[in-house]
Structure 1
């Protein structure tokens, strides 16, 4: 799969422009985005509302796309990436799989404009069509608060989160990298049956002997955690100019 975001429309056979809509609704989880200049530009304008304001403990705004979605019926606890115990579905999401790789070299090329209260990330998650198929492979997670004033360095999180997958253990850290995240960089994983390499601009930055044993969907999102007294004029942006998956030899 080679996605270059050419044209002016999002490929709706591949991407859903919502963030975990089962916990709110498609109307309330809709992303703010545009496809222009061979980029998918996700942003959070000043007037964008909070996501799950009555159930998410910390105020959160988010614009994201995902390449699959699934939940049980309204009132059930069946759904992808619940953020609280006994989370219940508010809007049922029929199973839809736009792109769900299992192994390979998966890369996202992106740039971001973040404030100290915002964050950008790209990650793979299990489909959760069975509860234990829920692990996460994080390609990058960058908090704006870690970017140096001159933009020359930032902490880039990579690794795995097991959630409810008993076959995985937590293996995640955010390490300082000498990159300007405002410029495009390639964040990738080489996911094999016996392990995963995490790469930044084609250089391996960490390796793991773990490997989720099921297909995964891609999640790409920009987040803002509004705080009293924080800069209320900054619009966080995550711009992606390529997503691709290639087989490993």
Structure 2
């Protein structure tokens, strides 16, 4: 973090519009879809592996977990997200068209807009993975259900397992334009004076004045831009690259302890 510490604004005094501490014995279906962008692949490949205990949601990559898509291999992912959108099978409509080489919808996925803020604040408390080849990430991405142009992303954090240390960790955060020509990609790698495998809280505020990202109450990234359309929140554990040689290395895990979110204008002026 920079030497001149700037503190984040306090959370709104009112109750959060979205709040889940994963205290229920099962994942809340009114909050989460436990598949990663399921329309671009098949259910067995998109389905998350996870369990819930007193520490929260434990995302897992299991030894027998298939690649998310054959075309994206080697890549396995366990993800929860606050909704889904896609067009009919065979179409090119769907959230996060991440490849330019002719993505088509493979699985019919009924539209579900569980929580799709256009502006506001999100606090995410996590413990990152230290397992080889893993990355824990949280991001807000355009739903695209209103327009195919709404593809921008607010990357709250991406934490690679090999950047997590006892006293210091690194992460990437910022804004990604993808194919939204109204935005410019603006990502930064930040140094955190903490062990990211221990519980810590990330915060993002975004709205007409731009985007503000912080960790443990301290601002780590500012951007003058922000997507101005509905966004899904996704939290995901990736295993990138070949599987580990020894099956005893699995499951590979990360934890999500709590997620809170506030919609729109009560926080947008804090930027």
TM-score (norm 1): 0.93
Q: Confirm or deny that 1:62 pairs with 2:77.
A: yes
196, 208, 211: which one pairs with 2:223? Answer: 208
**Unaligned runs of at least 5 residues, structure 2:** 1-17
- In structure 1, what is the equivalent of residue 63 of structure 2? 46
Instruction: State the 1:27 CA deviation.
Output: 2.8
3-state SS, counterpart of residue 102 of structure 1: coil
- In structure 2, what is the equivalent of residue 99 of structure 1? 115
Contact persistence 1:4–1:38 (CA under 8 A): no
3-state SS, counterpart of residue 28 of structure 1: helix
Please provide the CA RMSD for this pair: 1.6
Matches within 5 A, 1:81-160: 81-84=96-99, 85-129=101-145, 130-148=147-165, 151-160=166-175
176, 184, 192: which one pairs with 1:169? Answer: 184
3-state SS, counterpart of residue 22 of structure 1: helix
Contact persistence 1:117–1:230 (CA under 8 A): no
Instruction: State the 1:93 CA deviation.
Output: 1.4
- In structure 2, what is the equivalent of residue 188 of structure 1? 203
Q: Distance in 2 between matches of 1:29 and 1:165?
A: 25
Instruction: State the 1:146 CA deviation.
Output: 1.8
Q: Confirm or deny that 1:241 pairs with 2:257.
A: yes
- In structure 1, what is the equivalent of residue 9 of structure 2? none
Deviating more after overlay: 68-77 vs 227-236: 227-236
- In structure 2, what is the equivalent of residue 27 of structure 1? 44
3-state SS, counterpart of residue 27 of structure 1: helix
Q: Distance in 2 between matches of 1:7 and 1:213?
A: 33
Q: Distance in 2 between matches of 1:196 and 1:97?
A: 23
Deviating more after overlay: 187-196 vs 10-19: 187-196
- In structure 2, what is the equivalent of residue 178 of structure 1? 193
Bigger helix fraction: 2
Q: Confirm or deny that 1:9 pairs with 2:54.
A: no
Contact persistence 1:127–1:217 (CA under 8 A): yes
